[in-house]
Copies of this chain bind each other. A is one copy, B any other.
Amino acid sequence: MISGRPFLQIPGPTLVPERVVRAISQSLIDHRGPKFAALLQEVLEGLKAVFQTSEGRIVLFPGSGTGAWETCLVNTLSPGDRVLGCINGHFSTLFCETASAHGIQVEKLELPYGHGILSAQVEEHLRADKDHKLKAVLVVHNETSTGVTSNIAAIRQAIDGAGHPALFLVDVVSSLASIDFRMDERRVDVALTGPQKGLMLPPGMAILAVSDKALKASKSARCPRSFWDWGPVLERNARGEFPYTPATALLFGLKESLAMLAEEGLPNVFRRHARLAEACRRAVQGMGLKILAKNRDEYSNTVTAVCMPDGFDSDAFIAHAQKSLDMSLGIGLGKTKGRVFRIGHLGSLNEMELLGGLAGVEMTLKSFGVPVPLGAGLSAAESYLLESAATGYGRP
């Protein structure tokens, strides 16, 4: 047993804010009664604001981000359809594998870990598809495994530039409510996420926003579907219900976390994430370590993947940090297994928590044998936080 509060520095699930924990602990209500209908309505409206969409319809399932992939695919595509799968990390790989499992043919546009999707490549690929055989483009906005954010605006321009009618299906699992994502402005057709990242909830839901075009596509999509069929959800939602037993407790929490986001203001939420992320990166560099992401303008504001120095295994380091300080860091996934550790800096987080977490990283690296100069990382982070603070010290 370790005294005090835990530091969960993984890129989600994040620590759930007290207000949300309390909301979740309310007595359950009848999911077919009038109070539930009011709750649902409020949550759907709040989510639309977070997805920055007025046109999109929100679809909720008890499930996970993984389930959201499946929902997105089986509702819009048919077995045998071809899609363009943009792959630059572990989660984009899995998104495409989900498609394959349902008989969808994935043309892969693959980039090395650490790079963002190249919009020029997307455009070139789509231009080559003269017959418009490609039904959709699959992209992960923020690759949680590598700490790289791809440029959704540029990819939208690429699709438009190619004059291609493909659906634009975007995983925003680790970006929504943390990094600026604009569903309507980018004309994204399906944006999908889970609750345990920027939405600051415990895991247990699949959350999607669906465009009219995607809805239309679902009329003819022939992937077998039952649980994940969004048709009955939208139909029953109109009556304040669900076709399944909803995760009512999470909806209580979601109402509260949406209220918190609204109180802070989305632009402030994005700025806070950007500032904390930059402080984290300065600290990592101050410690003499390298960041996996290759391009500054693709650095993720929710997670930083740090390259473990040669000769050290990141899995062993993470176990050491866990054992020493009860601190949880994210492991290297897929091709980076054993080679990177990841620091999550998203959701409900402030400067002092981040600095406490970075101090933990410094100390455990040192005691693991990595020659980091104590305090160098922290002072770099502190300097940045001070210079980037609003007037006086103030807050961003």
Which A positions have Cβ atoms within 8 angstroms of B?
Answer: 1-8, 10, 12-18, 21-22, 24-34, 61-67, 69-70, 79, 97-98, 101-103, 194, 196, 202-205, 223-229, 243-250, 260, 263-264, 272, 320, 322-328, 331, 348-357, 359-360, 362-364, 366-368, 374-376, 378-380, 382-383, 385-386, 389, 392-395
Contacts and interface: CB of A to CB of B under 8 A. Distances in A.
Given A4-B348, A28-B202, 7 more contacts: A1-B264, A7-B352, A8-B30, A16-B28, A33-B322, A351-B359, A351-B360
Given A194-B245, A320-B393, A395-B324, A6 B29 contact: yes
A64 B24 contact: no
Given A66-B244, A325-B351, A355-B359, A21 B25 contact: yes
A326 B355 contact: no
Contacts of A66: 227, 243-245
Nearest to A366: B386
Contacts of A375: 375-376, 378-380, 382
Which 3 residue pairs of A and B lie closest in terms of their CB atoms, listed nearest first? Answer: A375-B379, A356-B356, A4-B350
A79 B116 CA distance: 39
Contacts of A65: 244-245
Contact of A227 (B70, B204, B260): B70
Given A24-B24, A194-B245, A350 B5 contact: yes
Contacts of A263: 1
Given A22-B25, A382-B375, A360 B349 contact: no
A352 B360 contact: yes
A38 B21 CA distance: 23
Given A204-B250, A245-B64, A247-B202, A348 B3 contact: yes
